[in-house]
Amino acid sequence: MIAVAGLLNYTELLKFVHKVVPGGYWSGTGIISALEEKKISIHVTQTAIKLVRDGDVLSVCPANIDAVKAVCSDKVVPPTILATLRENLEKAVGTALKEGNTVSSTDQVPWMNKEPVNKVFKPKVSLTMPVGTLPPLEFDENTGQVKVCSLEEMTGKPVVKLRDATRLYQAVQGTGKTSRYFLVAGNEDIRIAARYAVGQLSIRVVGAVSQFKAELVGAGFCAGDNSSYMSVHLGISDDITAMKALGAVLFGTGLVFRTQNPELKVLKHGS
């Protein structure tokens, strides 16, 4: 069991993570297991959640203890605060995993095998792309999260170009006429889609690929037939490995996504 010290106990921490990061590999026990694997502990203070190993602070998630306690006690928390807590937590976990090299999956994802580095990992958000380069994502006014396509919409609606996708799990075109991917991550500059069947996980990205080429290559992406997209294709033996690989690639880019984390079971159903 992961060591939890300070102003939260283990049960409260699990509940907090489940509430703040719903669904996907990085939900609840997934995020805890990834940190636990290399003995990263949690220390909660009045103003932050610190990820620590062997006395060294790997990363810090800014979080007011009152807001954290409110989430744990099922109080109503404004969507904007939840979104901020989620973004801060994801950044902190991404930093700890990159600094501590804690995710084990497949050597086909380059950044997962690098030795720990001393510099602080800083997610990059583009401030230079022209407004309107990609259509804006659709957000739910009640939850503050990106709208999600139903299973029926995933398989029943016509595919669109990946650059035009605005909802999580929206079906998009691959390279071939019958190739179908689903949106798994996106922000103002980047859209990422994936498809999965036992044996292979394929991920492609469009948008500002030239601007973020170094980050994308570092996460395992390779240039496609033209400069408009990049992709990565991974041999996968089982669902657990696929969950880890997808999370590793997305976190490995160092980009901040506006979409909530995808669930493999939904992606598998559509594919």
Per the model's pLDDT, the better-predicted residue between 6 and 159 turns out to be 159
Taking the whole predicted model, whether its pTM rises above 0.85 is answered as: no
Percentages (nearest 5) of helix, strand, coil residues in the chain: 35, 25, 45
Displacement of CA 89 from its chain's centroid (Å): 11
The verdict on residue 204 lying in a domain is yes
Tell whether the torsion through CA atoms of 88, 14, 80 and 184 is positive or negative. positive
Same domain for 93 and 157? Answer: no
Q: What is the pLDDT of residue 127?
A: 35
Q: How many domains does the chain have?
A: 2
User: Using one digit for the tens of pLDDT, what is the confidence trace for 167-211?
Assistant: 999 999 988 777 899 999 998 889 999 999 878 999 999 999 988
The verdict on residue 130 lying in a domain is no
Average model confidence (pLDDT) for the chain? 80
Which of 39, 72, 102 delimits the end of a domain? Answer: 102
Same domain for 86 and 161? Answer: no
The verdict on residue 114 lying in a domain is no
Identify the three-state secondary structure at position 185.
Answer: strand
The verdict on residue 137 lying in a domain is no
Which of 41, 72, 102 delimits the end of a domain? Answer: 102
**Cβ of 144: how many Cβ atoms within 10 Å?**
14
Q: What is the pLDDT of residue 129?
A: 37
Report the distance separating Cα 43 and Cα 48, nearest Å. 8
Per the model's pLDDT, the better-predicted residue between 125 and 247 turns out to be 247
User: Using one digit for the tens of pLDDT, what is the confidence trace for 35-71?
Assistant: 887 788 899 998 889 999 888 899 999 988 888 988 8
pLDDT band at 22 (very low <50, low <70, confident <90, very high): low
Token digits of residue 91: 């950044």
Report the distance separating Cα 198 and Cα 176, nearest Å. 20
Contact by Cβ (8 Å): 101, 110: no
Same domain for 179 and 251? Answer: yes
Q: What is the pLDDT of residue 113?
A: 39
Beta bridge mates, 194: 182, 203
Token digits of residue 219: 């996460």
**Checking DSSP bridges between strand 199-207 and strand 190-197, what pairing results, if any?**
antiparallel
Place of tokens 């998009």: 172
Report the distance separating Cα 155 and Cα 228, nearest Å. 25
Per the model's pLDDT, the better-predicted residue between 167 and 265 turns out to be 167
Same domain for 176 and 261? Answer: yes
Q: What is the pLDDT of residue 102?
A: 37
The verdict on residue 124 lying in a domain is no
The verdict on residue 139 lying in a domain is no
The verdict on residue 115 lying in a domain is no
Token digits of residue 260: 């909530």
Same domain for 232 and 175? Answer: yes
The verdict on residue 163 lying in a domain is yes
Place of tokens 């902190």: 92
Q: Which domain holds residue 92?
A: 4-102
User: Using one digit for the tens of pLDDT, what is the confidence trace for 95-144?
Assistant: 887 776 533 333 333 333 333 333 333 334 333 333 347 899 998 887 78
